Amino acid sequence: MPFATRQILEHHAKALAEGNIAAIMADYADDAVLVMLDRNYVGKAAVQEYWTNGLAAFKGGKLTPLGLGVHGNLALTTWSFASSAVTIPVGVDSYVIRNDKIAQQTCYYTVVPKGA
């Protein structure tokens, strides 16, 4: 199981870095849940809404994976992001993988405007 979990998240990181919404969404289960502090995105359509808006907001930046920890079907990733307008020094996501798809995800990051 850990190998499959790692493969799925490596694919997910690559799809995110490329801004490929179809490849990003291929990683999610139909009933996936993305939990953030300000909102929960329930179901694949809602998760796609999050990514469509997020990719548009952060267009032209660079996502850098920092770490990946895996135990069975659980994973934790850390990452950073930089664009001409903002930085995210460290973002943290946790995942539950079920049937080779992301079933549950949590995500936390702080956006820092350049020059702030």
- What CATH number does residue 40 fall under? 3.10.450.50
pLDDT for 114 = 86
Per-residue exposure over 101-110, b if at least 16 CB sit within 10 Å of its own CB, e if not = bbbbbbbebe
pLDDT for 56 = 86
pLDDT for 57 = 81
3-state secondary structure of 20: coil
Nearest to 109 by CA among 86, 14, 21, 96: 86
pLDDT for 60 = 85
Here the tokens at position 101 are: 């798809």
10-residue mean pLDDT series, the chain (116 residues)? 82 91 96 97 97 87 92 95 93 96 97 85
CA distance 89 to 66: 10
pLDDT for 95 = 98
CA distance 45 to 24: 12
Structural domain of residue 31, as residue ranges? 2-113
CA distance 81 to 96: 23
Please report where in the chains the tokens 């798809």 appear, as a residue: 101
* Domain count for the chain: 1
